[in-house]
Amino acid sequence: MSVPHINLNCEKCATTSTTLQLYSHRIYRDGDLEIPVQCTLGWCESCDNLRAVESFDDDDQVSKDICSLNAELSQYRSTLTTRLLTRLKPAYRSNRRQQEAQRDALIRRLELIGKRRGNEACLTCGSRNIRQFDGDYSLKIGDSFLYQGSKRTGFFHPGCGGEFVAEACDIRFHFARVTKCYNVEGELVDQFRT
Ligand SMILES: [Zn+2]
Ligand SMILES: [Zn+2]
């Protein structure tokens, strides 16, 4: 897997970070459920760096996704043909089970958003001592699908005062796909290659 990315460098000291960490595959594990994790960039006081931190701003999208999954699931029950298909074809049945599991995970995510919003954790160390990154690191994407140029982000390194500068990274970074598992408190409990 390769992902074009942006480096974030403090103009005054050697502190540097990257948007690559936002692309890790992360899930919350809650019993049998695998709940999706949303993340954004934030300043973690414990890591003393910009990190991927939990984000709980997707409640509208999650509600919409639950509605459309419910609509799809109700089709399974609505006609005699689908009922017969469900009984006869294992693929049909497993597809339904997958959608049910997906819907249950999203319902759980909605509960999590209600409970945990305002108490987001750093996805590296679990600390709650974080501050939202309120700068802008967006860069243009060029012809070769890589970011171009650099720009001041408007976010200042806490305790240092240097501004973070976003710089296009002109190499595509290849990394093994690793799934990071968290408990519902946002603490890393396991990680494995997938
Ligand atoms: Zn600095
Ligand atoms: Zn941290």
Q: Which ligand is nearest to the CA of 54?
A: 2
Element spanning 164, H or E: strand 163-174
Rounded to the nearest whole angstrom, what is the distance from the C-alpha of residue 156 to the centroid of ligand 1? 8
What is the average pLDDT across 83-87?
Answer: 70
Q: Which ligand is nearest to the CA of 51?
A: 2
Residue 172 and residue 190 in one domain: yes
Residue 68: the pLDDT is 95
What is the average pLDDT across 21-45?
Answer: 95
Contact 69, 63 (CB under 8 A): no
Residue 172 and residue 148 in one domain: yes
Residue 2: the pLDDT is 66
The torsion angles phi and psi of 182, rounded to 5 degrees, stand at: -120, 155
Rounded to 5°, the CA angle 130-40-125 comes to 45
Rounded to the nearest whole angstrom, what is the distance from the C-alpha of residue 15 to the centroid of ligand 2? 14
Report how many domains make up the chain. 2
Containing structural domain, residue 69: 57-119
pTM of the model: 0.87
Residue 76 and residue 164 in one domain: no
Residue 115 and residue 126 in one domain: no
Residue 97: the pLDDT is 87
Mean pLDDT of the chain: 90
Residue 167 and residue 152 in one domain: yes
Better pLDDT: 170 or 166: 166
Residue 145 and residue 51 in one domain: yes
Listed residues 70, 88, 119: the one ending a domain: 119
What is the average pLDDT across 150-157?
Answer: 96
Residue 25: the pLDDT is 93
What is the average pLDDT across 62-73?
Answer: 94
Residue 28 and residue 65 in one domain: no
Rounded to the nearest whole angstrom, what is the distance from the C-alpha of residue 39 to the centroid of ligand 1? 23
Residue 83 and residue 106 in one domain: yes
Residue 136 and residue 94 in one domain: no
The torsion angles phi and psi of 74, rounded to 5 degrees, stand at: -70, -25
